[in-house]
Structures are given as C-alpha cells and as structure tokens.
Chains A and B, each alone.
Chain A
Amino acid sequence: MNHLSRAGTLLILVVAGFAFVRYATAQVSLPLIGLVREDNAAHWASLSPRLGSSMQCQQCHDDVDMKWSRSAHAGQSCESCHGAGDRHIEFGAIVEPMRELCTTCHQKTTGRPESFAAIFRLDHFPLDDCMTCHDPHSPAAAFPDIPHNVEGREDCLACHGVREIASLPPNHIERPVELCLGCHKRAEGSP
C-alpha cells in the first residue's frame, strides 16, 4: 500500500499546485476571454486629464461667460475652439487663439446637415474677417454701425437687396423688411 499512498499524495500535490497557480493568475471575474489587469487599468485611470470643462474656464473668464451663456454657442466646450486648457491653467500661457475656426464648422460642405447654419465662403462677405460682424462668444451678428439714418425707414430692400450696393447675408433673404429695424440701429454720430 505504500507505493499507492505515495502516488496518491503526489497526485493531490499536483492538483493542489495547479489549483493554486490558477487561483493566483486567472481572474474569475471575466466569464469570457482574457485576464483583467487591475493594476494596469488603475494606471490608465491615473493619467491626468488635459482638457478640463467649461466650468473651470468660467471661474476666471466670467465676462466671456456672460455673453456666451446667452448665445447660440452656449453649452459648447470652450476647448472645442481654444484647445486643451491644462497648460493655460498651469503656466498661464495664452490659449491657442481662434484662427479660421468659424468655417471649420460653418462652411457649407457636402455631408453637412442642411439645417446647420452654414455659409458659402465666397458668397458671404469673402473679404471680411468673420469677427467684423460676429463675436464667436455671441455669434448672432453684432451689427456693424450703419452710417446713415435708419429711423422710420421702410425701404431698406431698395438698396440692400441689390448685390452691388450692400448684399444681404443668406439667412436674411427671406425676412420681411419690417424686421430690419428691430436689430439694426443707426451708429452714434452718423448723419
């Protein structure tokens, strides 16, 4: 019987060893494939974010926030246009300024939804900077000063429908003339 008990002990030891190694290395948590490397997942989770949130920007830039939060761009991330803000917070570096960012979104392009506010660059004041009329923090056109008397007039379209004199932006073409003076005011000091 001695040889039998020795073989039995050896078998038990082998099975126990296998069970131990399996217990130590395999993760029962995953019913399907692969192992979970919890320490490595913790490493990925420990990286520090570079983009913050617009809430952080507002803490200093409350003047911009006043305009932005009431505009059509409200709710959009500051970093969508300005880029990641981490260096700005840490070193006080100037955030990447706006370049030709407007048309990245607002140029009419194949594939872009029809309903999205977009212009043809060559039709919509091609020689002017977007910021002449639009403040990106409050993008509804901040109207350029009108250098003539507009009060009481109803004949705006006599000139402004004509391309050579002063064309209308594309989104103005369908609007009735009664609406013009609701937004457009005479510049101070003009005749």
Chain B
Amino acid sequence: MSKGVPRRTFLGLAGRVVVGSIVIYGAPSLVMSRLGQPGTANADSAPPGYEPRKHEWVFIVDTTKCIGCGRCVRACKEENSVPMDPDYNRTWIERYVQTSDGEWHVDSPDAGINGFTSWEANSELEDLDITKAFFLPKLCNQCEKPPCVQVCPVAATYKTGDGVVLVDRGRCIGCRYCIQACPYGARYLDPHEHVADKCTWCYHRITRGLKPACVEVCPVGARKFGDLRDPESEVSKIIDELRTYVLKEDLGTRPRVHYTQLDEGVR
C-alpha cells in the first residue's frame, strides 16, 4: 500500500463502521424482540389475548375407552397437513395383545388410521389364546425435560411458556438428532421440506380455546385435554383423583401426556 489511505486508518474506519452498524441496526431490534414488542419482520400474529404463561396444558388418555377406530389419526393429518403416507404421523394407535404364555403382540397397521377391523390386521391373532388386549393412542408427550430440545444443535426446537415443545422450521437443518433422541418415537422428518416435525397439540387450536383435532373427533372420549391451572377443568379433576401413569417414567423426561389405567406391560 504505497499511496492512498494508510492501512491503520483504513482498519480503524472499517472497524468503526462494522461495530457502529451492529449497534445502530442490530441492537434495537434485539432488545425490542426481547421485550416482547413485534419486530419488523414478524408478520404472524398469535390469537389476541393468549398468554402462554397462564396455561399449563395436559393431555390424558383413557386406555380402557379407546376403540381403535383411527379417527384421531385421520383428523390430525387433515388438520395439520401431515402426509397421508402411514410412515409420517403426529399421533398413532398401537394395539397391545397379551397371550396366556405372557407374550405381547403389538401392531399398528397403517398407524391405525383405518382402524383395526381389517382381515389382515386380525388374521395373525386368530389362533392365539388372548388374555388381554387394548389400544394405546400415542403422540408427542411434550416433556417437561425434553431430550429433543437438549440435543438440537441449532436450537430450532424449544419449549413454549405453556409447556408445548415446538419446532422452528426455518431454523431446523434436518439433522435428525431430535428424532434419534426422542424416546417415544414422536418425531419424523418432513419428506417435503426436510425439517423435523411433530405433534404441537394443535397449538393453533389450543391458543384459540379449541381442543386439539384428535380430542375433538374422538368418539368415545378416550382423549382428554385441558388446563391444569384451571382447577375446575376435567383434566385437573382426573389428575387429582385418579391414578395416572406416564410412558417410560424412569427416563426422567416428565411427560405431559398421562394415561389412566395403563397396563404394566407398556409402561
């Protein structure tokens, strides 16, 4: 650099420009978003009046009521545009059958979306000496200590103030760590956008005061949903009065999906 601006002056100026731009353009929006005021790029608006921290949602499944009709699986796919391919599910139904020799037979034909009444689904059970059989609906447990959130390398998945675990599809890089980490198999990779996807408990519905789609359509009331902060809600009373169980309690994930009368064989 023989003539013109000396290197020292140039670097000094450049440094000031960079730091200055960050301070002038970056800081206010960071602080604003931190303070809860809408940033400029955020066009989405949540339903007005919904405050996440005033709710504590809980989901209860009564395994003695489920008839395995699969309407919940279908409604979930319609509501959330989940691919109809049976490999991709936000919720699904499993059937547990125990025979007199103590063996368990578990099946979930097409995730239970068409029910369990087909000949194919039942032909293998015909010759068995069945002592116990029941259906078990499954979905994301929205864990209090979610392993999927812990492992995400880009912090794309997070817990909201009301306890629901969501995925930021814009940040997700599709690395599948969370799918591996989930002990309940509740996550899948969206085949179109190649980002992780999972049950949101129909976040767009519960924030509007509606029930999740699967709860709405369940014909026998096997799925219940409500707010633990409301002592008069059905779920509060069930949690208070009945014995409920969670799946894989020993893992310490503290699921928010509770099962009443859950059999020892599936805990």
Among B179-187, B217-225, B241-249, which stretch is in contact with chain A?
Answer: B217-225
Residues in A with CB closer than 8 Å to B100 are none
Q: How far is the CB of A72 from chain B (nearest CB, A)?
A: 11
Q: How far is the CB of B120 from chain A (nearest CB, A)?
A: 13
Interface check A105, CB cutoff 8 A: yes
Q: How far is the CB of B25 from chain A (nearest CB, A)?
A: 13
Name the residue of chain B whose CB is nearest to the CB of A26.
B34
Q: Evaluate contact between B204 and A51: CB separation under 8 angstroms.
A: no
Q: Evaluate contact between A51 and B79: CB separation under 8 angstroms.
A: yes
Q: Mark B79-90, 1 if CB is under 8 A from A, else 0.
A: 100000000000
Q: B residues 126-170 with Cβ under 8 Å of A? A: 130, 133-135, 145-146, 149-150, 152, 155, 157-161, 166, 168, 170
- Interface of chain A: mostly helix, strand, loop or mixed: loop
Q: Evaluate contact between A34 and B150: CB separation under 8 angstroms.
A: yes
Residues in B with CB closer than 8 Å to A37 are 158, 166, 168, 171
Residues in B with CB closer than 8 Å to A35 are 155, 158
Q: Evaluate contact between B218 and A80: CB separation under 8 angstroms.
A: yes
Residues in A with CB closer than 8 Å to B145 are 32-33
Q: A residues 104-118 with Cβ under 8 Å of B? A: 104-105, 107, 109-113, 116
Residues in B with CB closer than 8 Å to A47 are 203-204
Chain B contributes a number of interface residues (CB within 8 A of A) equal to 68
Residues in A with CB closer than 8 Å to B204 are 44-49
Interface check A38, CB cutoff 8 A: yes
Q: How far is the CB of A94 from chain B (nearest CB, A)?
A: 16
| A2 to B34 alpha-carbon distance, docked (Å) | 38
Q: Evaluate contact between A51 and B78: CB separation under 8 angstroms.
A: yes
The listed residue with most B CB atoms (<10 A of its CB), out of A39, A49, A50, A51, is A51
Residues in A with CB closer than 8 Å to B95 are 110-111
| A77 to B221 alpha-carbon distance, docked (Å) | 11
Q: Evaluate contact between A45 and B97: CB separation under 8 angstroms.
A: no
Residues in B with CB closer than 8 Å to A132 are none
Q: Evaluate contact between A39 and B44: CB separation under 8 angstroms.
A: yes
- Chain A interface residue number, banded: 35 or more
| A78 to B158 alpha-carbon distance, docked (Å) | 34
| A122 to B112 alpha-carbon distance, docked (Å) | 22
Residues in B with CB closer than 8 Å to A24 are 27, 30-31, 34
| A175 to B156 alpha-carbon distance, docked (Å) | 62
Name the residue of chain A whose CB is nearest to the CB of B71.
A80
Q: Evaluate contact between B67 and A39: CB separation under 8 angstroms.
A: no
Residues in B with CB closer than 8 Å to A112 are 67-68, 135
Residues in A with CB closer than 8 Å to B267 are none
Contact of A42 among B46, B134, B146, B149 (CB under 8 A): B46
Q: A109-B116, A111-B95 are in contact. Are A49 and B133 (CB under 8 A)?
A: no
Residues in A with CB closer than 8 Å to B31 are 24
Contact of B166 among A29, A32, A44, A113 (CB under 8 A): A44
Residues in A with CB closer than 8 Å to B117 are 103-104, 107, 109
| A136 to B115 alpha-carbon distance, docked (Å) | 18
Spell out A's residues near B (CB within 8 Å).
20, 23-25, 27, 29-30, 32-51, 53, 73, 76-77, 79-81, 83-84, 103-105, 107, 109-113, 116
Spell out B's residues near A (CB within 8 Å).
27, 30-31, 33-34, 36, 39, 42, 44-47, 50, 52-53, 64-65, 67-71, 74-75, 78-79, 95-97, 114-117, 122, 125, 130, 133-135, 145-146, 149-150, 152, 155, 157-161, 166, 168, 170-171, 200, 202-205, 207-208, 210, 213, 216-220
